[in-house]
Amino acid sequence: MKKTKTTKFDVSEHLRTPEEMAAYLEVCFEEADGDAAFIAKALGDIAKAKGMSQVARDTGLSRESLYKALSGDRTPSFDTILKVINSLGLRIHAEAAHV
């Protein structure tokens, strides 16, 4: 019997356009259920797709600190989140929740 070979899926390899990045982040907002580290990880995926070095230059943060902040292992400051979202060319918005 032939063995099946698998590879680790990396979503950042599939985020090519700003529209794809925005759609991915939107879905992550919906699925996060209040988990800020989950959103940070999603931003890390998008930053990796765009180029972490470029995002670091745009935010004024080091690559190392961005990798740590956007790893999903911790919750970065809201200031960092806003800088990253801005550098990625994305916007966040609010709408009324329908309860």
pLDDT digit string, tens, across residues 12-45: 999 999 999 999 999 999 999 989 999 999 999 9
- Checking if the pLDDT of 99 tops 90, the result is no
Report whether 22 contacts 30 (CB < 8 A): no
Does 95 fall in a domain?
no
Does 79 fall in a domain?
yes
Number of domains in the chain: 1
pLDDT bracket for residue 49 (50, 70, 90): very high
What does the pLDDT look like over 60-93, one tens digit per residue? 999 999 999 999 998 999 999 999 999 999 999 8
Does 8 fall in a domain?
no
Looking at residue 87, its pLDDT comes to: 96
Does 6 fall in a domain?
no
The boundaries of the domain holding residue 42 are 16-87
Looking at residue 82, its pLDDT comes to: 95
- Checking if the pLDDT of 2 tops 80, the result is yes
Q: How far apart are CA 14 and CA 22, in angstroms?
A: 13
97 against 9, higher pLDDT: 9
Mean pLDDT, residues 92-96 taken together: 87
Q: Of 45, 50, 83, 90, which is closest to residue 67 (Cα–Cα)?
A: 45
